[in-house]
Amino acid sequence: MVFASTQHEETLRRKLLATLVAQGTSGLLLFAMLVFLRRGDVTATLSTIGSSAPALVLVLALFALALSVMKFKLTDRVFVALGLTAATIMLPLLGVILTTAISVMASAVSRYLAFRQIGPNKSDLTDPVVDYARMFGQFGTYGIPVMFAGVVYERLGGHAPVREATWHAAGLIVAAGCALLIANHIVMKQVEAAYSYNLGRMIRVSIFDATIFFTTLPYAVLMTLSFPSLGVGAIALWGFTGVVMYLVARNLAVTRAARDHLVQQLASVSNVGKTISLRFTKDELLDVIFRACRDAVDVSLFSIALYDEKTNELACELDIREGEVLPKFRVPLGQGLNSWVVRNGRTLNLKSTDDEARFGIVAYDDGKPTQSWLGVPMIARDRVMGVISVQSYRRNVFSADDEILLTTIANQAAVALDNSQLFQDLEALTTALETRVLERTNELNETNLELEAADRSKNQFLANMSHELRTPLNSIIGFSAVLLEAASGLLPIRLYKFIENIHIAGTHLLVLINDILDLSKIEANRLDLEPQELDLRQTVAAVERVVKGLCAEANVTLVTTIDSSLGLVVLDESRIKQILMNLLSNAVKYSSAGGFVLLEVTPIAAGHSPLGADAVQLAVVDHGTGMPAEELPRIFDRFYQIEHFSTKGTGLGLSLTKAFVEMHHGQVEVESAIGKGSTFRVILPVDCRIAPAVMTAPATAATH
């Protein structure tokens, strides 16, 4: 398969070389014949121009060279190079011979500079022979079209240099420009066919190219017609202005490309970060990692190899070559590039095969004739788990930004794979424990101890995992927030929404992780309250400001009433806010559009309090969908969700609410009925530091 692919690439290369050489030869012969037949035209044209002729030739040559050197990538298919615009300007001023020579030389010099890695555009140096052939082929790319356009211009009555600025002269320039464009497209179709472009792609490229050319055509006409009345100085000023405008457009395009690349990188990191919190199989995780890398890095040749410490082997679990997934295989940890990354635990970025000798590395022969290679280690808990590598047939492909992105993804991927293995181990342990309970009932006490140990391990794992996840998530949320602030008003709405979605998704995931962490701390008896004297009016007002945003989105009205006799209380304000946010957000979520949610805060004297002490009651009432009576006893269970409800959450909110209430020595109860709404009542002691005289009652439920 690799041999067949190489043969196909060699066939395309020979076809491209033949096309470039044939066009270049044809253009050179036609140009030589034209020079021979009209050898007096150049002298006559320069004589007509007069003493300013050398300056005019120099200005136009530099102008054409600047436009060629500063070409830039507009889309994945189109490079903007205004060579045709420069030729359209030169043709009525210098004549066909000088215009052909300058156009060909400007384009050839720009390609030579790219080959020598000079200037803003650089060749990938994949095939120097093809680069030189492209330089020679400019006799066909620009030479033939310019000569054809010159014939059309002269047949229509045009002269060089143009003598006066008239509408007729402008029409001749436009006609010459159209002829130039048509001839260039005909010539380029042969080159595009050699690159294996399909018809649809050829048409799209032509449309893009023609649109850009016609946009610049009025500028070409104005610049040309300024010469008869204003002379070389006007040409120089117009040329300088055009180059500056072109440079600005180029910088904007480069900035846009960098911005789009950054958005893709943020999205890729965000996708992998979200994957860590999900339970996937190993193959599913590897596929997600590949798709995340694909959006921001060249992954034509992509592989993930995991290190097996037991056998001292690298297991290539995912090997993709130009979209084709190859079979898995194993190799001993040896002298290859992947082995170097695993042994050293460092990133390896080879710009070309020449770098192998510099690093003293012998690449593993996988049959891929590549030049650039980038490999990053997958590190979790200070242990190298494997390596992610990408390759390219071109030189100097992978930048420092690619290293940073791939390293970030690799580290998160390592955490995800490690967590996946821990999940599997935990599930295996749970299964073994359940089997032991069923088979050996006589060892129930011992089994219960083992189950408690497993539960502690699970809680510890959840706590550790949550801490591991919060670090990359904080980076995602922070950078996306910075990008939101910096890009406000600069980006299109659609792209700005993409960044906003990244920030919202990251924040939501962080809230979920914090809930899991709180729950695990509660179960491990490691979460302590921080009671302080506070005014519940201010606390409720702070929560109300946040919830009103949710109400506005759901078209629900929030009504709050606080008894005027309520005094100061001693409670943990942050946990009280969590309790209120959980209850109010649920009430808004299950309320109908146009409805309302009521929050009542009232004091309860010790004689009437179920806690046996002075207390305060927080009641949240909605008139939404309600809940069936048989479900109420379970709604405070961890991760429990009522079946057949269209809106579901994580199943943590009410469980955490109940836990926080009980930590305050309070109690919570609920009343609900289908179609009538729900009422949650939270009763808390005024001072949670003083345990109530009566034991805290469990959460109760009643129907109404």
Q: d(Cα 675, Cα 698) in Å, to the nearest integer?
A: 26
Are residue 313 and residue 244 in the same domain, yes or no?
no
Are residue 177 and residue 77 in the same domain, yes or no?
yes
Q: Which residues, other chains included, contact 8 with Cβ-Cβ below 8 Å and sequence gap of 6+?
A: none
pLDDT band at 91 (very low <50, low <70, confident <90, very high): very high
Check pLDDT > 60 for residue 276: no
Answer yes or no: are the C-beta atoms of 415 and 453 closer than 8 Å: no
In eight-state DSSP terms, residue 620 is E
**What would the mean pLDDT of 356-382 be, rounded to a whole number?**
72
Are residue 299 and residue 251 in the same domain, yes or no?
no
Q: What is the pLDDT of residues 212-239, one digit of tens each?
A: 888 888 988 999 999 888 888 888 888 8
What's the half-sphere exposure (Cβ side, CA atoms, 13 Å) at 683? 21
Q: What is the pLDDT of residues 508-546, one digit of tens each?
A: 677 777 777 777 777 767 677 889 999 999 999 988 888
**What would the mean pLDDT of 125-137 be, rounded to a whole number?**
78
Are residue 250 and residue 377 in the same domain, yes or no?
no
- Higher per-residue confidence, 630 vs 488: 630
Are residue 223 and residue 337 in the same domain, yes or no?
no
Q: d(Cα 560, Cα 188) in Å, to the nearest integer?
A: 72
Omega cis (within 30) before 228? no
β-partners of residue 600 are 561, 619
At residue 441, the pLDDT reads: 66
At residue 601, the pLDDT reads: 94
- Higher per-residue confidence, 567 vs 394: 567
Are residue 483 and residue 497 in the same domain, yes or no?
yes
Closest CA to 300 of 319, 323, 317, 318: 323
Q: d(Cα 629, Cα 702) in Å, to the nearest integer?
A: 7
Least confident of 31-35, 128-132, 300-304: 128-132
For residue 424, tell me if it sits in a domain: no
Token pair 């309520």 is at which residue? 566
Q: What is the pLDDT of residues 665-700, one digit of tens each?
A: 999 999 988 888 899 999 999 998 886 644 444 555
Distances in Å between the alpha carbon of 629 and those of 136, 154, 299, 329, 626?
Answer: 84, 93, 55, 57, 9
Answer yes or no: are the C-beta atoms of 266 and 499 closer than 8 Å: yes
β-partners of residue 143 are none
Check pLDDT > 80 for residue 133: yes
Are residue 201 and residue 254 in the same domain, yes or no?
yes
For residue 421, tell me if it sits in a domain: no
Are residue 232 and residue 337 in the same domain, yes or no?
no
For residue 425, tell me if it sits in a domain: no
For residue 273, tell me if it sits in a domain: no
At residue 696, the pLDDT reads: 45
pLDDT band at 257 (very low <50, low <70, confident <90, very high): low
Q: d(Cα 615, Cα 299) in Å, to the nearest integer?
A: 63
Q: d(Cα 552, Cα 546) in Å, to the nearest integer?
A: 11
At residue 648, the pLDDT reads: 53
For residue 272, tell me if it sits in a domain: no
Range of the domain at 157: 2-259
- Higher per-residue confidence, 631 vs 32: 32
Q: d(Cα 93, Cα 623) in Å, to the nearest integer?
A: 82
Are residue 550 and residue 492 in the same domain, yes or no?
no
Answer yes or no: are the C-beta atoms of 617 and 683 closer than 8 Å: yes
Q: Give kind and range of the element (H or E) at residue 596.
A: strand 596-604
At residue 697, the pLDDT reads: 46
Answer yes or no: are the C-beta atoms of 192 and 202 closer than 8 Å: yes
At residue 253, the pLDDT reads: 66
At residue 1, the pLDDT reads: 25
**What would the mean pLDDT of 277-302 be, rounded to a whole number?**
74
pLDDT band at 603 (very low <50, low <70, confident <90, very high): very high
Are residue 330 and residue 238 in the same domain, yes or no?
no
Are residue 518 and residue 540 in the same domain, yes or no?
no
Output the domain CATH number for residue 508: 1.10.287.130
Q: What's the domain count of the chain?
A: 4
β-partners of residue 378 are 386
pLDDT band at 359 (very low <50, low <70, confident <90, very high): low
For residue 422, tell me if it sits in a domain: no
Which amino acid type is present at position 336?
Answer: G
Are residue 143 and residue 202 in the same domain, yes or no?
yes
At residue 93, the pLDDT reads: 92
Helices 83-115 & 167-194 angle (0-180, nearest 10): 40
For residue 419, tell me if it sits in a domain: no
For residue 276, tell me if it sits in a domain: no
Check pLDDT > 70 for residue 622: yes
At residue 329, the pLDDT reads: 85
At residue 703, the pLDDT reads: 43
The bridge status of strand 596-604 relative to strand 700-702 is: unpaired
Q: What is the pLDDT of residues 2-18, one digit of tens each?
A: 333 445 567 777 888 88
At residue 98, the pLDDT reads: 92
pTM: 0.47
**What would the mean pLDDT of 596-612 be, rounded to a whole number?**
90
Mean pLDDT of the chain: 80
- Higher per-residue confidence, 168 vs 653: 168
Cβ atoms within 10 A of the Cβ of 561, count?
A: 12
Q: Which residues, other chains included, contact 155 with Cβ-Cβ below 8 Å and sequence gap of 6+?
A: none
